[in-house]
Amino acid sequence: MKLLPKLLGVLVAAFIAAPLFIVVPMSFSTAPSLEFPPPGYWLGYYAAYFTDERWTQPTINSLIIAFGTMALTMLLVTPATFAVVRHRFFGRGLANLMLTMPMAMPHIVLAIGYYSYLGDLRLTQTHLGVIIAHTALSVPVAFLILSANLKGFDRNLERAAMSLGATPLRTFWHVTLPVLRPGFAISALFAFIQSFDETVVAIFISGRESETLPRKMFESIRMQADPVISVVSTLLFAAVALVILAPVVWKAVRKRPNRDCARGGTPAAKDAAPQDVNPCAPSRVQLEA
Amino acid sequence: MRDPYLQVSGLTKSYGSVQALGGVSLDVEKGEFVTFLGPSGSGKTTTLMIIAGFENATSGSVRVGGRSLSNIPPHARNIGIVFQNYALFPHKTALQNIMFPLDMRGVPAAEAERKARAMLDLVGLSGYGDRWPKDMSGGQQQRIALARALVFEPSLLLLDEPLGALDKNLREQMQIEIKRIQKSLGVTTIFVTHDQSEAMTMSDRIAVFEKGRIDQIGTPQEVYRTPSTPFVARFIGDSNLLPGTVLDPDQGLVRTEHLGLMRLPSRLAAAAGAPVTLMLRPESIHLAGLAAGVSEDAPNRADISVHTVVPYGDSTLLIGRAGGADLRIRLRGPEADGIGSGAALSVLWPASAIHAIPAV
Ligand SMILES: Nc1ncnc2c1ncn2[C@@H]1O[C@H](COP(=O)(O)OP(=O)(O)O)[C@@H](O)[C@H]1O
Ligand SMILES: [Mg+2]
């Protein structure tokens, strides 16, 4: 009985990972165009990616635009989320709808809209133009993540902080923000990834001047199937894996001392404060439990 | 006359069409431990939140030390609060939590830490300063919350059902602990609970809440012995409530619906014919022939047939029919030995055990 779900899990994982087994080897390939299996291996295309301005410039553009989008998104979404989640006001339902609406819109429709609208503002082919368009696309997801976090936030933490003498501003800074930090981080990360990954709108409005990496990849695969594409794909995958795995690894490393404690072993040195004889030692109070 | 330390007058609060408070007034002396006791939804938390400044009263005022709090924001009120769910900052250690109010007041770090550690000692958690809240038990978290609410020497300490989430043994231990700490610091305290035994054991005075109002304020003994409404009599302790009408106010005679004539210890401040409710605590009813010093004369007696026997170990609760109504009797120790369901008993009580609650 237990074998079937396990087998299914392995199959799904294999299916998802399958492209990697093709893309990663191809990035080290010596073939002049995308070709599998690779006839030989070298690092030439990695060198090409990091030195060729036709690749580095779109990468820099994409990073600038993604960071800009992330910053602008969070700047807009943070107050909007607090307003919509915490306050009752006229038009709240409408605000909620407008904040999530772009998610339901096909990107191609939005792209055409941005093309003419940003064109009028002379913002096509500029970083700012792409940032504005990407922000509109990032807002819904950032808003949804942040509002889910905020809804689960215990208001008594803020009440406690204020009763203890913190002004509303300091309460936000010392309590609300740090407690919601994971929510903010994930929200911002998604805004970043959304922008970095976005292709359709970028093709329409980024132009030569602010060409993004996905747009460059799209164009180069259309023209010549440049193997550098597999290099970029591999690097992107590695970056994402790193971002996702880092917190998991970090947590596993940090948790360990407590587990030792629970097992009755000696606590790790860094966990035992100088004045603390032994935090694992049973005491009057610990016997409560 | 000297002003009371905390003066709450005429608080009302409406949430739309819901009236949460319908005129709450009370005075609290400096250093006093007052408990708000009442069922869920009776307005205890709302009153506390208005005192703390997190809710605005629809009308009424709160004064501390003669000063109105109405224009003072929560962070400037110098009031310590302990919440039922502890509300410890999860990103700060126990010590950092306790230091927080001192940091907010600009106390130098070294002094703040010294004071925080002294508070840790006071709540019996000296070695726990570097623990994270999530690594502490409920009772320990509650102590840290208490230490945090006291370290800045608040002018008032508010506790909203602080022991509600703890199991019975730990609860009793914390009751004693909170009382000890409160006494040693002499801080004026308002403690909210819906548990009457908790209120009885901890309080200097109890304010009994019902439907957004305070029915009665008094010492535990006063609210227990002389409840001013049937609600208070029912909510605090076990009671027999006997509806009746005043027969002769000067002689203290009342005709009850079910048990006939009753004689009260003193004259009644009500006109003949006025409706009245008599309260008789189950433990002040005795078996006839066993009650030393209780007059065996009618009227304060009844014949009952027992239908339920509930043993409590140290005492036994008997419930029997008398005159068409149930009468609850609590007998101590071995007095109830041999009494089973179906037994016919003759019981009596001293006039002094009867308390008359005027009809409202
Ligand atoms: N924010 C609110 N909105 C609407 N009604 C509320 C709100 N807070 C409290 N109430 C109502 O006010 C009444 C008193 O509540 P509360 O003070 O919390 O009672 P208690 O603490 O005694 O259980 C209840 O009927 C409750 O439903
Ligand atoms: Mg409450």
Q: Could you tell me the distance, in angstroms and rounded to a whole number, from the CA of residue B206 to the centre of ligand 2?
A: 16
Residues 143-182 of A with CB under 8 A from B: 154, 156-157, 159-168, 170-171, 174-175, 178-179, 181
Instruction: Answer with the one of B208, B231, B254 that is the final residue of a domain.
Output: B231
Residue with tokens 């014949």: B303
Output the domain CATH number for residue A192: 1.10.3720.10
Is A78 domain-assigned?
yes
Residues B314 and B279 placed together within one structural domain of the fold: yes
For range B211-220, the mean pLDDT: 95
Given a cut of 70, whether residue A266 has pLDDT beyond it is: no
Residues B33 and B134 placed together within one structural domain of the fold: yes
Summary mean pLDDT of chain A: 83
pLDDT at A276 (0 to 100): 38
Percent of chain B exceeding pLDDT 90 equals 59
Residues B225 and B262 placed together within one structural domain of the fold: no
Supply the angle between the helices A155-163 and B138-150 in degrees, to the nearest 10: 30
Residues A210 and A158 placed together within one structural domain of the fold: yes
Q: Which of A145, A140, A171 is nearest to A158 (CA)?
A: A171
Contact A271, A261 (CB under 8 A): yes
Chain A partners within 8 Å of B181 (Cβ): none
Query: On the CB side of B66, how many CA atoms lie within 13 Å of its CA?
Result: 3
Given a cut of 90, whether residue B109 has pLDDT beyond it is: yes
Q: Could you tell me the distance, in angstroms and rounded to a whole number, from the CA of residue B84 to the centre of ligand 2?
A: 9
**B72 and chain A in contact, CB less than 8 A:** no
Given a cut of 80, whether residue B98 has pLDDT beyond it is: yes
Residues A85 and A205 placed together within one structural domain of the fold: yes
Residues B21-30 pLDDT 10s: 999 999 999 9
Is B326 domain-assigned?
yes
Residues A152 and A82 placed together within one structural domain of the fold: yes
Residues A6-48 pLDDT 10s: 999 999 988 888 888 888 888 888 888 887 788 888 888 899 8
Cβ contact B131–A279 (<8 Å): yes
Dihedrals φ, ψ of A50, to 5°? -80, -15
How close does chain A come to B204, measured CA to CA in Å? 25
| Alpha carbons A28 and B285: distance in angstroms, whole number | 95
Instruction: Answer with the one of B189, B209, B231 that is the final residue of a domain.
Output: B231
Residues A120-130 pLDDT 10s: 888 888 889 99
A225 is in which domain, residue-wise? Answer: 51-230
Residues B70-88 pLDDT 10s: 899 999 999 999 998 999 9
Contact B278, B355 (CB under 8 A): yes
pTM for this prediction:
0.79
Percent of chain A exceeding pLDDT 70 equals 88
pLDDT at A261 (0 to 100): 42
B40 is in which domain, residue-wise? Answer: 6-231
Lining residues, ligand 1, CB within 6 Å: B 15, 18, 20, 38, 40-46
Residues 146-165 of B with CB under 8 A from A: 148-149, 152
* Strand-strand pairing, B354-358 and B275-280: antiparallel
For the four alpha carbons of A261, A263, A268 and A274, in that order, the dihedral sign comes to positive
Q: Which helix (H) or strand (E) holds A96?
A: helix A92-100
- Virtual torsion, Cα B90, B96, B101, B106, nearest 10 deg: -130
pLDDT at B298 (0 to 100): 59
Residues A200 and A255 placed together within one structural domain of the fold: no
Contacts of A64 (CB under 8 A, 6+ apart): A127
Residues A98 and A222 placed together within one structural domain of the fold: yes
pLDDT at A74 (0 to 100): 95
Residues B227 and B271 placed together within one structural domain of the fold: no
pLDDT at A270 (0 to 100): 37
Residues B185 and B295 placed together within one structural domain of the fold: no
Residues B345 and B242 placed together within one structural domain of the fold: yes
Given a cut of 70, whether residue A258 has pLDDT beyond it is: no
Residue nearest to atom 4 of ligand 1 (CA): B15
Instruction: Answer with the one of B179, B208, B231 that is the final residue of a domain.
Output: B231
Residues B41 and B167 placed together within one structural domain of the fold: yes
Is A246 domain-assigned?
yes
Give the pLDDT band (50/70/90) at residue A264.
very low
Output the domain CATH number for residue B206: 3.40.50.300
**B79 and chain A in contact, CB less than 8 A:** yes
Q: Could you tell me the distance, in angstroms and rounded to a whole number, from the CA of residue B74 to the centre of ligand 2?
A: 19
Instruction: Answer with the one of A182, A208, A230 that is the final residue of a domain.
Output: A230
Residue nearest to atom 21 of ligand 1 (CA): B45
Is A28 domain-assigned?
no
Residues B223 and B249 placed together within one structural domain of the fold: no
Summary mean pLDDT of chain B: 90
Helix-then-strand count for chain A, H and E: 13, 0
Which atom belonging to ligand 1 lies closest to the Cα atom of B44? Answer: 22
Is A111 domain-assigned?
yes
Instruction: Answer with the one of A230, A256, A281 that is the final residue of a domain.
Output: A230
Cβ contact B54–A162 (<8 Å): yes
Cβ contact A163–B104 (<8 Å): no
Query: Structurally, how many domains does chain B consist of?
Result: 2
Residues A249 and A172 placed together within one structural domain of the fold: no
Is A260 domain-assigned?
yes
Residues B245 and B351 placed together within one structural domain of the fold: yes
Residues B297-342 pLDDT 10s: 557 888 888 999 998 888 899 999 988 889 999 998 788 788 888 8
Residues A127 and A198 placed together within one structural domain of the fold: yes
Residues A124 and A203 placed together within one structural domain of the fold: yes
Cβ contact A165–B81 (<8 Å): no
Is A196 domain-assigned?
yes
Residues B320 and B271 placed together within one structural domain of the fold: yes
Residues B246-295 pLDDT 10s: 988 888 888 888 888 888 888 888 888 889 999 999 998 988 866 555 55
Residues A146 and A63 placed together within one structural domain of the fold: yes
| Alpha carbons B346 and B303: distance in angstroms, whole number | 4
Output the domain CATH number for residue B340: 2.40.50.140
Interface probe with A: pick from B64, B83, B173, most Cβ of A within 10 Å: B83
Query: Structurally, how many domains does chain A consist of?
Result: 2
Residues B131 and B21 placed together within one structural domain of the fold: yes
Residues A182 and A283 placed together within one structural domain of the fold: no
Name which of B79, B105, B143 is nearest A163 (Cβ-Cβ): B79
- Say which ligand is closest to the CA of B209: 1
Residues B114 and B252 placed together within one structural domain of the fold: no
Give the pLDDT band (50/70/90) at residue B2.
low
As a whole number of Å, the CA-based R_g of chain A is 25
Residues A212 and A260 placed together within one structural domain of the fold: no
Q: Could you give the C-alpha distances from A3 to A9, A150, B247, in angstroms and in order?
A: 10, 40, 85
Residues A225 and A265 placed together within one structural domain of the fold: no
Is B1 domain-assigned?
no
